[in-house]
């Protein structure tokens, strides 16, 4: 098969990124290597309980966030930021969508392929489901909600953001929330929930409750609800019943507190 035909076949099969700079012959016999001494496995960090990254790097993003006094300044600073390798493989910075004056702010995980292409959070299939979920309780991204993510660039292969990526973006996310000043935060999925609330618990155990979210830029905690990520609901439609209960819980709280 001609090299061009191979590339065309790979594109049709869905390949959208390279994972190496040199070709590898996967059919060649594997070299025989001497056995290595057994090593104790590294303990896996509890996700969300501690965001780990170089201290200097976090201090740098903290200083950038500190200097921003408006949402527009923060967005410009995030777009200019070059401290994460995932930005080099992403097509666009995905900062926000919705109404900046909204009293409800949604935080998702990370941009997917379509979000990366268009530069808009939740614009793919999961975004269409999110719009339907919001509409079911009388909300919309055009008027009543504002949407962002825990990181602003698509991780290669749609993998979850690493602890280091979350930690480096955390000052930006914290300042973003403070500048919007929502009356209610809604964390979509486990990554966003654990990154915001630093609780290593599943959505199933945390849903149908309100939590106080605080950060250095806020004068007072923000009530925070959690629910399943729309992409998870697409993979597990049986959980939509629970998601509907979450939406009703959120709507009741909004009405009881005069937010809508």
The token duo for 170 is: 């955390």
What pLDDT, on the 0 to 100 scale, is given for residue 54? 77
What pLDDT, on the 0 to 100 scale, is given for residue 4? 63
Q: What is the mean pLDDT of the chain?
A: 87
Residue extents of the structural domains in the chain: 55-256
* pLDDT band of 40, cuts 50, 70, 90: very low
pLDDT surpasses 50 at 219 = yes
Per-residue model confidence as pLDDT tens digits over 117-152: 999 999 999 999 999 999 999 999 999 999 999 999
Q: State the sign of the Cα–Cα–Cα–Cα dihedral 24, 30, 32, 37.
A: positive
Top-level class of domain 55-256: alpha beta
Indicate the pTM of the whole model: 0.80
């Amino acid at each position: 098969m001609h090299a061009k035909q191979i590339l065309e076949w790979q594109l049709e099969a869905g390949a959208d990124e390279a994972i190496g700079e040199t070709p590898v012959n996967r059919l060649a016999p594997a070299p025989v290597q001497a056995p290595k001494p057994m090593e104790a496995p590294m303990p896996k960090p509890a996700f969300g309980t501690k965001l780990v990254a170089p201290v200097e790097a976090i201090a740098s993003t903290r200083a950038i966030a500190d200097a921003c006094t408006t949402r527009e300044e923060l967005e410009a600073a995030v777009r200019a930021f070059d401290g994460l390798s995932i930005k080099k493989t992403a097509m666009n910075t995905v900062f926000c969508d919705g109404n900046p004056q909204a009293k409800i702010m949604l935080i998702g995980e990370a941009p997917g392929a379509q979000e990366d292409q268009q530069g808009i959070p939740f614009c793919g299939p999961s975004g269409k489901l999110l719009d339907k979920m919001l509409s079911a309780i009388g909300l919309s991204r055009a008027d009543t909600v504002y949407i962002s993510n825990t990181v602003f660039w698509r991780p290669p292969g749609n993998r979850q953001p690493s602890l280091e990526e979350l930690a480096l973006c955390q000052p930006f996310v914290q300042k973003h929330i403070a500048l919007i000043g929502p009356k209610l935060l809604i964390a979509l999925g486990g990554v966003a929930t654990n990154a915001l609330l630093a609780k290593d618990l599943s959505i199933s155990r945390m849903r149908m409750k309100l939590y106080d979210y605080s950060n250095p830029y806020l004068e007072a905690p923000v009530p925070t609800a959690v629910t399943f990520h729309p992409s998870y609901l697409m993979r597990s439609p049986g959980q939509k019943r629970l998601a509907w209960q979450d939406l009703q819980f959120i709507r009741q709280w909004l009405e009881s507190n005069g937010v809508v």
